[in-house]
Amino acid sequence: MEIKDLTGLSEPLKKLIEVVSNGVGALTKPYLIRKTADAKAYEIGVIAESIKENQENLKEIGYTEEKLSLMSLDTESIKNELTIEQRTKNRLDFKEQRRQENIESITQNAARNLEAEASVSEDPVDEDWTSRFFNYAEDISNEDMQELWGQILAGEIKQPNSYSLRTLELLRNLTKEEAQTFTKAANFVISSNNSPFLFKGNDNKTLSKYGFTFEDQLLLTEIGILQAEANITRNLKGDMTVYFESGKYIIKTIKNSDVSDHGIPIFRFSKIGVELLNLLSPTVNDDYIKDFFFSLIDAKIDTEYAFILSKDKGQIRHTQPWMKFKKE
């Protein structure tokens, strides 16, 4: 199906089909827009047809609660053992069918992420990136990871060069434990000038107080999400107004020139870590933000906060007036 035949689809979905076609071949419009219920009905229909075609060999076969059950097997079928060539073909067919299912599931996730988009960048997605993406994606069978890969595909279509090949390589090898640790770390992210970091606290114990341990930090450093340098600080110099964001909070700091420069002890994210943070929707810890707030107050930096109402192309709308936390 050519792109010009995709009447009724939005530009983002047309671009998605074009990218998928470049990566793995044709993709049908009906499959792309098939809803979950339709997909399930289609799946059951295929299973039912398969049962019908194989009834001669399978005496009793059932399909309940999305599981196949074999009640009894014809003894004649046991005698008719497949040749090694047939067994090899069956194994390869099964493997490729599973890979196709993985790709289609990831593509549908990408489509859902693009449904609300009115437009996307006209810049093309790099062909080498597309090829590498689908080579990796075909072996991603975990549903949660398929959702992440769908988000990456959608993000790259919206704005090419959002995710590097190194990021794909790391995500491909990410274990469940590593993913959970990274998700936990995201809840403590503070950003300034689009540069995210973790606030360690003046005693380097703030994060561990909220469950992000030294071992967690070592793990994310080992896999390349956090940078390995020690004693990194985010410096605030005289006569500077600096804004920080974390979840629902925006924090404004004003440092007078008569106050000595202040270094905020932090863990900095790598480029890969920064890219992957865009996939998550963290839940900020209020007490952690208060610790960060009061650490600035203690350094004699004028600090206030507000709640973020909306963001649009770097512009932030927030509540008024600015407020201060009170120590309990």
Per-residue model confidence as pLDDT tens for the chain (328 residues):
333 444 456 788 888 888 887 777 655 444 554 444 455 555 556 555 655 555 544 444 454 555 544 444 455 554 566 788 888 888 888 888 899 899 989 999 999 999 888 889 999 999 999 999 999 999 999 888 899 999 999 999 999 999 999 999 999 999 889 999 999 999 999 999 889 999 998 788 899 999 999 999 999 999 999 998 766 777 887 777 899 999 999 999 998 877 788 889 999 999 999 999 999 888 999 999 999 999 999 988 999 999 999 988 778 999 999 999 988 7
What's the whole-model pTM score? 0.74
CA distance 29 to 318: 42
Residue 240 within a domain: yes
Residue 212 and residue 133 share a domain: no
Residue 324 within a domain: no
With contact defined as beta carbons under 8 Å apart, do 114 and 7 qualify?
no
With contact defined as beta carbons under 8 Å apart, do 124 and 163 qualify?
no
* Residue 224: CA count within 13 A, CB half-sphere: 12
Residue 116 and residue 50 share a domain: yes
Please identify, among 151, 173, 195, the residue that sits at the C-terminal boundary of a domain. 173
Residue 325 within a domain: no
Q: Let me know how long the chain is.
A: 328
Token output for 61: 């076969």
Residue 29 within a domain: yes
CA distance 23 to 15: 12
Residue 187 and residue 149 share a domain: no
Residue 323 within a domain: no
Region for residue 80 given its phi and psi (left: phi exceeds 0; alpha: psi -120 to 50; beta: otherwise): beta
pLDDT at 268: 94
Question: Any residues with CB less than 8 A from the CB of 245 and at least 6 apart, and which?
Answer: 190, 191, 192, 251, 308, 316
pLDDT at 53: 55
pLDDT at 17: 81
List own/partner pairs for 315-322 with CB under 8 A and 24 or more apart: 316/245, 316/250, 318/250, 322/252
pLDDT at 275: 95
pLDDT at 187: 96
Token output for 276: 């992957």
pLDDT at 13: 83
Residue 298 and residue 261 share a domain: yes
Running DSSP on this structure, what letter comes out for residue 3?
Answer: G
pLDDT at 227: 92
**Residue 234 is part of which domain span?**
176-318
- The total number of structural domains that make up the chain: 2
Residue 204 and residue 132 share a domain: no
| Range list of H helices, the chain | 11-24, 29-33, 36-53, 75-79, 84-114, 127-137, 143-158, 165-173, 176-186, 206-209, 214-222, 271-277, 286-298
Running DSSP on this structure, what letter comes out for residue 4?
Answer: G
Please identify, among 123, 145, 173, the residue that sits at the C-terminal boundary of a domain. 173
Residue 246 and residue 114 share a domain: no
